[in-house]
Amino acid sequence: MKVEKPRGTRDFAPDEMWARTLVERKMSCAIENYGYRRVSVPTFERSELFRLKSGEEIAQHMYVFEDKGGRELCLRPEATASVCRMFAEELRAYQKPVKVYYSGPMFRYEEPQKGRYREFWQIGVELIGPSGPESDAEVIEVAARSLKSMGLKFELEVGHLGILRGLMQDLKVKEEVQDDVISAIDRGQKDKAEKLVKDKVFFDLVELKGDKKIIKKAEKILKDYENASKALGEFKGILSYLDALEVDYSINLGIARGLEYYTGMVFEIRVEGLGAQNQICGGGRYDNLVELFSGLSVPAVGFAFGFDRVVEAVKEQGIEIPKKKIDLVVAPVSDEVREEAMKIASRFRGNCSVEVDLMNRKLGKILEYASRINARYTIIVGPKELEKGLVVLRDMKSGTQKEIGLNEIERIF
Ligand code: HAM
C-alpha cells in the first residue's frame, strides 16, 4: 500500500537536513549574540489563543480539531501569541527585558506553491518589556545581522502601523473598522479599503515609499493630524537608530502585515529569485498582545523568519553550504580483525565522528564508500600491522598512507 505525505508537507533527506541545520545554527548564533535565549512552545494550542488577536487571515488558515475531551485545539499557525501566553504563565517573573527566540514548525492551511507550505518552519525573536525606539531598531538589526551572517543579500522595508492607525483615529474611523482597513491594504484590496476610509489623505500616506526624503512628505500630509504626527515622530526616532547602526532600509508606509496585533513599527524583508513568495521575514511592534493574556500592560516587538525561504534564498544566491564530513572511517581488511576495528572506532568517537564498515565490504569498496561520504581519513586495520600495535592511516584527500600507532592517532584527533 502506498501512502503519500500530506499536501504541503515535505520530507528532508540527510543532505538537505544538514544544510538546514547549518543555516539554523548560524542564524541562532547571531540571534544569541544579542542576548536572546531559546524557548519552546507547544505545537498545538487552544484555538482561541490565535482567534483573539492574530486576525482573519490567520484564523481562516488554521488547522483546527477537537480533542477527545471536546476541547477545540489547533496546530500553531505562528508562535508570537504562544510566547505571550508563555509570558503570562511563566516569564512574567523574569528580569526584563525578556529576550527569547524559537525555531520550529508552524502550520497554515494555505494553497501550496513554491515557497508556501502547509507545514513550514520559522525562527522567531520576541523582545518583551521595552517600548523605546532603540528596541525597535535593535530587533530590526538582529534580523538583518542574522541574514548577513549567512552572506545573504536582501531588501528591508520599514513602515509604521501606529501612523496609519493614528491617522484613522484622527479621521474618526471606528476602532473595529480599522483592522478591516489594515487587512484590506495587506491583501492589496484598495477598493475595499477605499469603501471603509473615504479620506484621500489616508491613501496618500499609504502610497508613500522610498528613502528618508519621504518623511518630509509625510510630515506635510500629516501636519493637521495629531495622533498620526505623534506616531511619525516615534518612527523618525527608530530610523535615526537604524542609521546609527548602519542598517540599510527603505521606507514603505503601506506595509500593513497580515496579523492584527501590530501597533507600531512594522518591517518586512524580501530577497530576489524566490518568485512570488519572496518575503523571508516579517515583524513589528505589538504593544497590546501581552496584556490580552496577562492583564499586564507590557510592550513587545519581534519578528519571524520564514526559515524554508531563507534556506531557498541561500541556495538561490549560490552561497556555499559545506557538506557534512566524517572524520574517520575504520576499515577491517578481514573478519578476524573486525572486532578490533569496532573497538578502535568506539575509542575515537569521544572526540570525532567515526564510521566503521558494517556492510562486510572488501577494502577497495570501503575506501570508495569513505570518499563518497567525504571522510577525512580511513584507518585500515590489518592483522599483521595489529600484531605490531599499528594500523594504516590513509589521508583521503591526498591518497597517501602510512603505518602509525593508535596512540599517535589519538594525538591527531
Ligand atoms: P508572518 O509574516 O505571518 O509573521 O510570518 C513570518 C514569515 O513566515 C513570513 O515572512 C514568511 O517568510 C514565512 N511564512 C509564512 N507563511 C508561510 C508558508 N505558508 N510557507 C512558508 N513560509 C511561510 C508571523 O508569523 C509573526 N508571528 C512574526 C512576528 C513575530 N511578529 C512579531 N513577532
Instruction: Domain ranges for the chain, please list them.
Output: 14-316, 328-412
Cell numbers for 132: 523605546
Domain boundaries 14-316, corresponding CATH code: 3.30.930.10
The CATH T-level fold of domain 328-412 is: Rossmann fold (3.40.50)
| Residue pair 404/393 in contact by the 8 Å Cβ criterion | yes
Q: Which ligand 1 atom is nearest residue 58's CA?
A: 3
CA of 307 to the centre of ligand 1 (A): 9
Per-residue b or e along 78-98, where b marks 16 or more CB atoms closer than 10 Å to that residue's CB: bbbbbbbbbbbeebbeeeebb
Ligand 1 mean position, distance from CA 81 (Å):
13
Residue 129 bridge partners (DSSP)? none
The helix or strand, by DSSP H or E, that contains position 356, with its residue range, turns out to be: strand 354-356
Between the CA of 332 and the centroid of ligand 1 the distance, in Å, is 51
pLDDT at position 52, please? 85
- The torsion angles phi and psi of 407, rounded to 5 degrees, stand at -60, -35
Count of beta carbons in the 10 Å neighbourhood of residue 19: 18
330 Cβ partners below 8 Å, 6+ apart?
A: 341, 342, 344, 345, 354, 355, 356, 357, 378, 379, 381
Residues enclosing ligand 1, CB less than 6 A?
A: 78, 80, 108, 110, 116-117, 120, 122, 124, 126, 258-259, 279-284, 302-304, 306, 308-309
Q: Could you tell me the sign of the dihedral formed by the alpha carbons of 242, 244, 247, 248, in that order?
A: positive
CA-nearest residue for atom 20, ligand 1, is 116
Residue of the CA atom closest to atom 7 of ligand 1: 306
CB 263 within 8 A of CB 162: yes
Among 23, 49, 78, 187, the mutation site with the greatest number of ligand 1 atoms within 8 A of its Cβ is 78
User: What whole-number distance in Å separates Cα of residue 162 and Cα of residue 222?
Assistant: 13
Residue pair 280/296 in contact by the 8 Å Cβ criterion: no
pTM for the predicted model, two decimal places:
0.94
User: Would you state the torsion angle of the CA atoms of residues 224, 227, 229, 231, taken in this order, to the nearest 10 degrees?
Assistant: -170
Question: What's the one-letter identity of residue 353?
Answer: S
Q: Are 229 and 223 in contact (CB under 8 A)?
A: yes
Best mutation site among 142, 156, 259 for ligand 1 pocket (most ligand atoms within 8 Å of CB): 259
Report d(CA 263, CA 165) in Å as an integer. Answer: 8
Looking at ligand 1, which residue's alpha carbon is closest to its atom 15?
Answer: 306
Closest to 309 measured CA to CA, from 345, 273, 352, 280: 280
Residue with cell 599483521: 384
Per-residue DSSP letters for 86-114?
Answer: HHHHTGGGSPSSEEEEEEEEEE-----BT
What are all long-range contacts of 186-192, with beta carbons under 8 Å and residues at least 24 apart?
Answer: 186/57, 186/256, 186/257, 186/258, 187/57, 187/258
Q: Per-residue pLDDT for the chain (413 aa), expressed as one digit of tens each?
A: 899 999 999 999 999 999 999 999 999 999 999 999 999 999 999 999 999 877 778 889 999 999 999 999 999 999 999 999 999 999 999 999 999 999 999 999 999 999 999 999 999 999 999 999 999 999 999 999 999 999 999 999 999 999 999 999 999 999 889 989 998 998 889 899 999 999 999 999 999 999 999 999 999 999 999 999 999 999 999 999 999 999 999 999 999 987 889 999 999 999 988 988 999 999 999 999 999 998 999 999 999 999 999 999 999 999 999 988 999 999 999 999 999 999 999 999 988 999 999 999 999 999 999 999 999 999 999 999 999 999 999 999 999 999 999 888 888 77
For residue 339, the CA-to-ligand 1 centroid distance in Å is: 52
Which pLDDT does position 88 carry in this prediction?
95
Dmax over CA atoms of the chain, in Å, equals 93
Q: How many CA atoms lie within 13 A of 263 on its CB side?
A: 15
